Amino acid sequence: MGRKALISGITGQDGSYLAEHLIELGFEVHGLVRRVALEQPDERLGRLGHLLDQVKLHPCSIESYASVFSILSRERFDHCYHLAAQSFVAESFVDGFSTMNTNTNGTHYLLAALRELQPGCRFYFAGSSEMFGKVQETPQRETTPFHPRSPYGISKVAGYYLTMNYREAYNMFCVSGILFNHESPRRGYEFVTRKISRTAAKIKLGLAHELRLGNLDAKRDWGHAQDYVRAMRMMLEQDTPDDYVIATGETHAVREFCERAFAEVGLDYRDYVKQDPQFYRPAEVDLLVGDASKARAALGWAPVRTFPELVREMVQHDLESLSRPRSSHLASASN
């Protein structure tokens, strides 16, 4: 019998790469999606277009325990990857209530339903380097104290401790991956890397004339999402459950991402990037850089893509997709 995996958030960047990875390994892959995604597949299932005949999608609201319980009472899984979340940090300052509700209760509902119905299913929680927030040490590792700086970061700390509590209290195989920023051509347009790569490509093609950003001095440890989903699966295949930092160990400023992305299309970012107060956050995370040596030693995980390769891939993808005729470019809008 092949193994079965359930992915919440399968329509997102990480969910789509993880689904591909698990299918390649022979898993039967199921995904939880909002009903509206099934009603508007062209807009909402874009990243899964090439996989739709290989995954089974279940309409589900992770904000409803009954909805989660109902799916888990119908299908049994070996792995459950909980990636669904309101993941845009800036939005969490605008609507902290729904961010906390979706991210905290969604995690709790899945854990509680698994405990009730299939406690042997291995559970992965998408933790985040945003939990370190105002960092207490550099680089950040599994033992670094948390100091979240946004409702999003706080919701992830809550999810992390819920996951740990189910592991300790009920002896379930529950782990958190503390993933640092990870990007790709499938990244949502609201995140800074994709906003930069897309707008640099637009400016090059004469479709935009400037790029408005917030804090250019914030530093992030940016890896490639395709490398990071491998680590999620590896964590669930260990003998004992544990939490791991996943990061490249390098940090770069937003300004440097701009510099490289614009250089990729032969432009100087200083001629186009304008700082705009509307994109500043009420509390910023100034510097993130992770130490993934535990994951390297225990999982044998290491990133493959470098930072310059990541920037190049994103900009070239946006340049190509924007250069295509309108209909085909819509089809690949969220690749």
Residues with a catalytic annotation lie at 128, 130, 152
H/E element, 225: helix 225-236
Enter the DSSP assignment of 287: B
**Minimum distance, C-beta of residue 10 to ligand G4F, in the bound complex (Å):** 16
**Minimum distance, C-beta of residue 144 to ligand G4F, in the bound complex (Å):** 13
Rg (C-alpha) for the chain, rounded Å, is 19
- Residue 87 touches ligand G4F, criterion: CB under 6 A: yes
Among 55, 83, 172, 254, indicate the residue that binds ligand G4F (CB under 6 A).
Answer: 254
Among 92, 102, 105, 128, indicate the residue that binds ligand G4F (CB under 6 A).
Answer: 128
* Nearest-angstrom CA–CA distance, 175 and 327: 42
Beta strands in 53-149 (DSSP E): 55-59, 79-82, 122-128
For residues 184 and 312, the answer to whether their CB atoms sit within 8 Å is no
Tokens found for residue 268: 């100087």
Among 200, 201, 203, 213, indicate the residue that binds ligand G4F (CB under 6 A).
Answer: 213
Q: Which stretch binds ligand G4F (CB under 6 A): 236-244, 277-285, 294-302, 318-326?
A: 277-285
Among 190, 210, 268, 309, indicate the residue that binds ligand G4F (CB under 6 A).
Answer: 190
* Nearest-angstrom CA–CA distance, 179 and 87: 13
Among 89, 110, 258, 273, indicate the residue that binds ligand G4F (CB under 6 A).
Answer: 89
Enter the DSSP assignment of 126: E
| Beta strands 219-220; 252-253: pairing state | antiparallel
DSSP, collapsed to helix, strand or coil, labels residue 177 as strand
Among 82, 149, 220, 230, indicate the residue that binds ligand G4F (CB under 6 A).
Answer: 220
- Residue 93 touches ligand G4F, criterion: CB under 6 A: no
- Residue 214 touches ligand G4F, criterion: CB under 6 A: yes
Q: Which stretch binds ligand G4F (CB under 6 A): 17-25, 125-133, 235-243, 317-325?
A: 125-133
Q: Which stretch binds ligand G4F (CB under 6 A): 16-24, 75-83, 284-292, 297-305?
A: 284-292
Among 90, 117, 253, 330, indicate the residue that binds ligand G4F (CB under 6 A).
Answer: 90
Tokens found for residue 114: 């698994």
Q: Which stretch binds ligand G4F (CB under 6 A): 30-38, 111-119, 124-132, 236-244?
A: 124-132
Alpha carbon distances (Å) from 155 to 32, 199, 328: 20, 31, 38
**Minimum distance, C-beta of residue 2 to ligand G4F, in the bound complex (Å):** 31
For residues 112 and 72, the answer to whether their CB atoms sit within 8 Å is no
Closer to ligand G4F by CB, 174 or 285: give it: 285
Alpha carbon distances (Å) from 107 to 61, 110, 141: 12, 5, 23
* Nearest-angstrom CA–CA distance, 230 and 140: 21
Among 61, 138, 215, 238, indicate the residue that binds ligand G4F (CB under 6 A).
Answer: 215
**Minimum distance, C-beta of residue 176 to ligand G4F, in the bound complex (Å):** 12
- Residue 129 touches ligand G4F, criterion: CB under 6 A: yes
Tokens found for residue 193: 């890397």
**CA-angle at 322, arms to 320 and 323, nearest 5°:** 65
The contact set with ligand G4F (CB under 6 A) reads 87, 89-90, 128-130, 180-181, 190-193, 195, 213-215, 218, 220, 254, 279, 281, 284-285, 288
